[in-house]
Amino acid sequence: MSHVYVAGSINQDVTVRVERRPRPGETVPGESAALGLGGKGANQAIASARSGASVELIGKVGDDRFGAELLADLDAEDGLSTEYVHYTEAASTGVALITVDSDSENAIVAVPGANGALAPEDLSDVDVTDDAVALSQFEVPQPTIRAFFETARSQGARTILNPAPADDARDDLLEIVDYLIVNETEAQFYSDADPDGHLSTPELVEMAADLRAHHEQVVVVTLGEAGVFASTPSETITLDAYAVDPVDTTGAGDAFVGAFATALGDGTALREALDVGSAAGALATTEAGAAPSLPTRAAIQERRQED
């Protein structure tokens, strides 16, 4: 069994389904509203656990009702430990406001809250095993991620960074990332490409070369319906997407990252690990919500066998 450590955000998601999102100053009727567990850290930790990994989640929540309820939800997940999740009275639990329109596309406003207070010293007692995968995202401070990755690498673990939401990335962080995973929008941000266009394979190759912070780094770009692209120092990999009828794209990227991390921890070769992630991401779009849509290992295997 693979062992995955995730340092990341834990949010209370508030999801509203609408026919269309409102323009400035406009009020539109919503079709439904739901509260749920979210945050890219929590989502990717759950995705890793459901896809078969033993997972340690490292994070911070507020000393409030949301924090207590979210920790209870996380503790109910098989294979996921919250031993390294801390309470703080200095900030409220993070909140994400999510709208999902009739095309199943989402737009999100995230309030960091306690996630922004996760500090390097909160990781001082984390003991990363030498065969593990260490995973993080940009919903917690970059200095904390760097401290986490430095510890993980010193103990022989591989590191995965999903620099989302897109933000200026510190060079001293990118230099200790083994696998860099972005979606197409984030790839356009980090490469200064046209945000309204789609990246061709030659453009993706060039972008990956520009993004690669050290010679051994693998750059992965998830492309939604267009599949997935990966660039290593020695090869380029492109995979088609799994065909699905999407209901809600929220959590699809986190499903990919979590399942990919599990597959790597299992010793799976890169191309197959990308395919595992792709199947997980596709399945996550077929159910509403973030955490509820994250697929199990059995579901991922069944989907891969269908094609």
Catalytic annotation, residues: 254
Residue 109 has which token pair?
Answer: 């406003």
The closest alpha carbon to 43, from 262, 300, 292, belongs to: 292
Q: What is the DSSP string of 33-60?
A: EEEEEE-HHHHHHHHHHHTT-EEEEEEE
Residue 3 has which token pair?
Answer: 């062992």
Provide φ and ψ at 204, rounded to 5°.
Answer: -65, -40
Alpha carbon separation from 48 to 97, 199, 223, 264 (Å, rounded): 24, 28, 20, 11
CB atoms within 10 A of CB 268: 16
Task: Give the integer Cα–Cα distance in Å for 194 and 207.
Answer: 12
30: β partners: 18
Question: Residues 2, 266: contact at Cβ < 8 Å?
Answer: yes
Question: Residues 190, 166: contact at Cβ < 8 Å?
Answer: yes
Task: Give the integer Cα–Cα distance in Å for 154 and 156.
Answer: 6
Helix (H) or strand (E) holding 301: helix 297-306
Q: What is the DSSP string of 239-290?
A: EPPPP---S--TTHHHHHHHHHHHHHHTT--HHHHHHHHHHHHHHHTTSSSS
